[in-house]
Amino acid sequence: MNTGNLYHESELVSLLKQRHEHAFNYLYDHYSGSLYSVIVSIVPDRELANDLLQEVFVKIWRQIESYDNEKGRLFTWMLNVARNASIDAVRSKSYQQGQQNRELTENVYEEGGSVQMNTDRIGLRKIVHKLKEEYRVLVELSYFEGYTQDEISKMLKIPLGTVKTRLRSALLQLKQVIKP
């Protein structure tokens, strides 16, 4: 997928900050697939995911000014833009209502146990589901659903310290799995 670096990252960023359309074109070609998989892993609805990908690239274009390469890689920054936009979309009222309807119909066929909502898990989310339950829940709630550690601690009635350490351990495990 990573087909030859035409631009060095710092060069690309500086061109983007100068609003070079050609650089943006390259950015899209180079990163749309990986950002799309980030979006799709949070928002399984493809149509919404398509809208989100567009929204994310528009955001990147608008906010590239605020990206600081001292703080991290361009992709990490874009990943968080994509992740936040996706979580916002999933948390929106209209999406929640649609989801509730879906849940009701799906529950008809449920034979008990935990509700398996997203049958077509993708990318990172698929890997996360290989983690043990107590880790999986934390990654799900924090990374995919955007809850803060404080919120998770209250939701799961687990001390904040435990949430922290468990999440960190979960991510370490995850890192082992995704290591190329």
Partner 1 sequence: MDIQAYIQSGIIESYVLGLTSSDETAEVERRRKEYIEVENAIIEFSQSLEESAFEHAIAPPPELKSKVLSAIKDLQKERTLVTPTEPNERAQVVQLQGGSNWRLIAAASVILFVVSAGLNFYLYNKYSNKEEDYQALLLQREILQAKNDVYQTQLKEWQSAAAMIADTGMAMIKMVSPKGKDDVATVFWDRRNKDVFVMVNRLPEPKVGRQYQLWAMVDGKPVDAGVLDPSCTSVCKMKNIPKAEAFAITLEKEGGNKIPNLKALFVLGNT
Residues found near partner 1 in the complex (CB under 8 A): 1-2, 19, 21, 24-25, 28-29, 32-38, 40, 49-50, 53-54, 57-58, 61-62, 65, 71-73, 75-76, 79-80, 83-84, 122-124, 142-143, 148-150, 164-165, 167-172, 174-175, 178-180
Measured from the CB atom, the residue of 93 and 132 that comes closer to partner 1 is 132
Closest approach of Cβ 37 to partner 1, in Å? 4
Measured from the CB atom, the residue of 63 and 97 that comes closer to partner 1 is 63
Closest approach of Cβ 7 to partner 1, in Å? 15
Measured from the CB atom, the residue of 117 and 177 that comes closer to partner 1 is 177
Residue 41 is which amino acid? S
Closest approach of Cβ 3 to partner 1, in Å? 10
Q: Which two tokens stand for residue 51?
A: 């809208």
Closest approach of Cβ 102 to partner 1, in Å? 22
